[in-house]
Amino acid sequence: MEFDLNEKQSQVRTGLREHFSTIEKESFMNDYYRDVFKEKPGAVLIDRNTDFVTKVTALIEVAKASPSLSLALLDTSVSVLAFEAYASALRNRSFAFTEETAGSDLSLIETTAKKTNEGWVLAGEKKHAFCTEFTEELIILAKLDESSFGIFNIPITDENVSLHKEEVMGLEGIHQTTITLSEVIASPSQMIIKTGTNLDDLNQVFNLSTLFMAAIAVGIAEKALSEALSYSRKRKQFGTIIGEYQAIQFKIAEAVVRINASKTLLYEAAQTLDCGEDAEAEISMSKVYASETAKIAVDHSLQIHGSAALVSGSPISKLYQFQRLTEIHGQTSELLRLKIADRLVKSYSDELVEIY
């Protein structure tokens, strides 16, 4: 067993910490974002030769510096890593999979892609696409016929694409977008892959989204803990710093133990992927656990800060709101728990797999 980062991985982490310490916080979602994939931190995430241990390490640092930025990196990174077609070309992308009636159960989508002489014609309405303000390409899931789906890339500037943006709680500069596709025409080369309605061919997309959300959740939890620690060291009540009280110490202890536990699950999942093995169960566990840890860590941190954290726009109030997304986006905790249990039950039913 070996639990430490290697030298190269440590260097990436140290480099990112230094990098973020020199940047004005407000600037992440403006000019900074435009070149984010050309250098760090984005370049690390999309580089196929960089291991997943390094990638999740980087993403934790990004989420600590800016939850908005970490979320904005997600879809592009996953698309580059998951689709062979995207190995070289690089544009900022947003996934547009879910719809009003199709969330966890994507088989219910109603957006269609019909083959015509002009090419594919896409029509329908997509919900909850993130970060479209920086997106150049939408990655759209559409129904081809009763038994198959296609994934299309559509320029966001297409004249038949219209966007309706809504703010997301706790996130600055990022919107959740409803996308209306009214007879959008796509050439055959714009179809990235074709898949059955069980979406088996998209496992890599789902798994990586889940893994990266887990890393983001860890970053949020660590940020909340750091804030709680510095506040409990300086805030004085009843004649001493509040960190002297067991009421505060116990909250901090619970948060740090859960954060450490989250990180072991996250790194185990990343390491399993790096070994080229099936990591779906490990990834699922890491995200369920990390997102719920973020909930606990942020809630404790808010309680420790008292009313100061209730002020709209305070750092903890933003984390408190953003954390919620981590339990939903990148597959819900409910769906992931079902996957974990399914694996466990199958392994015992067949008595084939050694679970530990």
Partner 1 sequence: MDFRMSEDQKNFITEIEEICKSTLIPIQEEFGEQDVLSFEMVKALADNGFYKRHIPEKYGGSNQSEEASSTDLCIIREELARLCPLAESTYSVTGLGSYPILLAGTEEQKQEYLRKMTSGEEVFAFALTEPEAGSDAVSLKTTAVRDGDEWVLNGSKIFISNAGDAGVYVVFARTSDAPGSKGISTFIVEDGTPGFSLKRRLKMMAPHPIGELEFKDCRIPKENLLGEEGKGFKYAMQTLDMFRSSVGAQLIGFARSAMEHSTRYAIERQAFGGPLTQFQSIQFKLADMQMEIKAAKHLVYYAANRKDGGNRVTKEAAMAKLYASQVAQRVAYEGQQIFGGYGMMKGNPLELIYREVRPAAIYEGSTEIQHMVIGRGMVNESFIVDSPEKILW
3 binds partner 1 (CB under 8 A): yes
* Closer residue to partner 1 (CB): 108 or 256: 256
Which amino acid does the sequence have at 348? Y
| 112 backbone dihedrals φ, ψ, rounded to 5° | -115, 155
* 311 three-state secondary structure: coil
Task: Give residues with Cβ within 8 angstroms of 3, minimum separation 6.
Answer: 264, 267
5 binds partner 1 (CB under 8 A): yes
236 binds partner 1 (CB under 8 A): no
Query: How many residues lie near partner 1 (CB under 8 A)?
Result: 57
How far apart (Å, rounded) are the C-alpha atoms in residues 25 and 313?
14
Least distance (Å) between residue 200 CB and partner 1: 21
The single-letter DSSP state of residue 75 is H
* 19 three-state secondary structure: helix
Convert residues 57-96 into a mask of x (bound to partner 1 by CB under 8 A) and - (unbound).
x---------------------------------------
* Closer residue to partner 1 (CB): 41 or 243: 243
Binding window for partner 1 (CB under 8 A); candidates: 73-81, 162-170, 175-183, 345-353: 345-353
> CA 233 → CA 252, 273, 305, 308, 325, distances in Å?
12, 39, 11, 16, 30
Among 93, 126, 143, 251, binds partner 1 (CB under 8 A): 251
Binding window for partner 1 (CB under 8 A); candidates: 77-85, 114-122, 167-175, 258-266: 258-266
Binding window for partner 1 (CB under 8 A); candidates: 92-100, 160-168, 178-186, 344-352: 344-352
Among 42, 170, 243, 330, binds partner 1 (CB under 8 A): 243
Among 23, 87, 169, 253, binds partner 1 (CB under 8 A): 253
18 binds partner 1 (CB under 8 A): no
Which pair of tokens denotes residue 303? 């309680």
20 binds partner 1 (CB under 8 A): no
* 194 three-state secondary structure: strand
342 binds partner 1 (CB under 8 A): yes
Among 68, 153, 232, 291, binds partner 1 (CB under 8 A): 232
Q: How many residues make up the chain in this entry?
A: 356
How far apart (Å, rounded) are the C-alpha atoms in residues 269 and 278?
9
350 binds partner 1 (CB under 8 A): no
The single-letter DSSP state of residue 36 is T
Give the HSE-up count for residue 8: Cα atoms under 13 Å, Cβ half-sphere: 8
53 binds partner 1 (CB under 8 A): yes
Q: Residue ranges of the alpha helices (H) in 150-279?
A: 203-234, 246-274
The dihedral sign for the CA sequence 19, 23, 167, 221: positive
Among 20, 97, 289, 320, binds partner 1 (CB under 8 A): 289
* Closer residue to partner 1 (CB): 70 or 232: 232
Which residues from 143-202 bind partner 1, rule CB under 8 A?
none
How far apart (Å, rounded) are the C-alpha atoms in residues 142 and 150?
5
Among 4, 18, 159, 200, binds partner 1 (CB under 8 A): 4
Three-state secondary structure along 89-107? CCCCEEEECCECCECCCHH
How far apart (Å, rounded) are the C-alpha atoms in residues 132 and 117?
30
Strand 93-96 relative to strand 137-145: parallel, antiparallel, unpaired? parallel
Least distance (Å) between residue 47 CB and partner 1: 18
345 binds partner 1 (CB under 8 A): yes
Among 261, 308, 310, 311, binds partner 1 (CB under 8 A): 261
Max CA pair span of the chain: 79
Binding site for partner 1 (CB under 8 A): 1-7, 9-11, 13-14, 53, 57, 225, 229, 232-233, 241, 243-244, 246, 248-254, 256-257, 259-265, 267-268, 271, 285, 288-289, 334, 336-338, 340-342, 344-345, 348-349, 355-356
